[in-house]
Amino acid sequence: MKSVVEKFLKYVKFDTKSDENTGTTPSTPGQMALAEEIVKDLEAIGLQNISLDSKGYIMAELPSNLDYEVPAIGFIAHMDTSPDMTAENVSPKIVENYDGRDIILNKDNNVILSPKDFPELLEYIGSTLITTDGTTLLGADDKAGIAEIIDAVEYLAAHPEIKHGTIKIGFTPDEEIGAGADYFDVEKFGADFAYTMDGGAIGELEFENFNAAGAKIKINGRNVHPGTAKNKMINSMQIANEIINMLPAGERPELTEKYEGFFHLISINGEVEATSMQYIIRDFDKDKFQKKKDLLQNIVEFLNKKYGEGTVELQLKDQYFNMKEKVEPVKHIVDAAFKAMEAAGVKPKVQPIRGGTDGARLSYMGLPTPNIFAGGHNFHGRYEFIPVSSMEKAVQVILNIIEIYSHK
C-alpha cells in the first residue's frame, strides 16, 4: 500500500485547474483523467459500489462490518485546483527536518518561502514539508483531502478486524468555481451526514461559512471626441469608479476578518464605451448579506436615473449559504469531529470559513457536511505547502470519527 504522501504526490501531477468559462462539467479534461486514476485506486482497495459518472463525480462505499445499525458517514473532497494559478507540471519539493530558515523554492525566479512572510512555518520546525517549486500551486487544496480519505478507507479495508459502519466517499469536480455540488446526487450517495476534508491548517473545524453571491456589472457608455465631449460623453470607466466609491470603503477583503463581510472587486475591464466589473459579496449574517445585495442594486438604480435607463446592467446571483443553519440541528457531528481531533492529539480550532466548500451547498441539499482540515497552507499560489505530519493526523481524525460512530 502506498502511504498518504505517495498518494498525494501522484495526484498533484494531474493538471486539474478548473475553468468557469468552458461551460462543461467537469470544466477541464484533467479532472476526468484524475477521476479515472482514483477509480483504479478504489478498485485496488476493494471498495464496493464504485461509480464515475459523465460529470466527473466519484462515489464508493466501504460496507459496514457490524451486526447492528449505525449512521452511514460520508467523506468528501474535490479534485479540481484553483484557476488562480497554473497547475501544469506541478513538481513538489520535499523539505525534510525543516530548520526554520528560508526555503528557496525557485532560485531562477528568486521565489522564497520565508517565515518572515509566513510565520506559521515556525510551527513546523523539525517536520517534513511538501512545497511547490515556485512556478505552480501545489494542489493540497484539495488533493490532500483525497489522499487522506483514500488512505483511511484503505487502512480499514486492510484491517477487517476493526469494526466500523458504512463509509461513503465522494470526490467532486469544479469546487473552486462554485460548481462542486451542482450534480452531486445526495440520495445516491446514501450518507446520513458527511465531512469535507477541505480545510487548511491542522486543527481547523468549521461549520459556519459565508453567504455568497456573485455580481456581474456591465456599464454602457458613449464615446465622442474629447474636444467636443461636454454634455455628450458618458465615460463608462468613470461610472465604474462611482460604483467603487459608493460601496462601503471598509468592507473589502483586505480590511476585514473573522465574522466581517465584504464586497470584493475581482475583475474590471473597460474603455470609454463599455466597462465590465465582477464582484463577489460575502457575509455570515443573512440579514447583512441581504442588505449588501440591496445596496448594490440601489446603486445601480441610482446611476441609471442619473445617466439614463440601461446605462448600468446588473446580474446578481446567489452562490451558496451559511451551512450553520443546517448543521446545528445535528451538532453531534461537529462534537464527534472535535473529540476525534483531541483523540489524535490535535487541538481543535473551531472557526468560521471565510469562503465556502462543497459542504455548504450539500448541507442545504439534505446532507449536513461540516469541514475538517486537510493540512495545507497558502492555498491557490506558489507559496503553498503542507506538512506531512498534518496529513497523517488528518487520516487519524477520519479513523477516529469512524470509530466514534461504530458504537451503538
Q: Which amino acid is at 81?
A: T
| Three-class secondary structure of residue 364 per DSSP | helix
Q: H-helix or E-strand containing 399? A: helix 388-404
- CA pair distance 286, 63, nearest whole angstrom: 39
- CA pair distance 373, 7, nearest whole angstrom: 18
How many of the other CB atoms lie within 10 Å of CB of 91?
A: 12
How many of the other CB atoms lie within 10 Å of CB of 263?
A: 21
- CA pair distance 123, 126, nearest whole angstrom: 9
Q: H-helix or E-strand containing 61? A: strand 58-62
Q: Which amino acid is at 395?
A: V
Strand pairing of 204-206 and 371-373?
Answer: antiparallel
How many of the other CB atoms lie within 10 Å of CB of 30?
A: 19
Our CA angle for 232, 267, 237, nearest 5°, is 10
Active site residues: 80, 175
The answer to whether 371 touches 353, Cβ cutoff 8 Å, is yes
- CA pair distance 12, 132, nearest whole angstrom: 10
Q: Which amino acid is at 139?
A: G
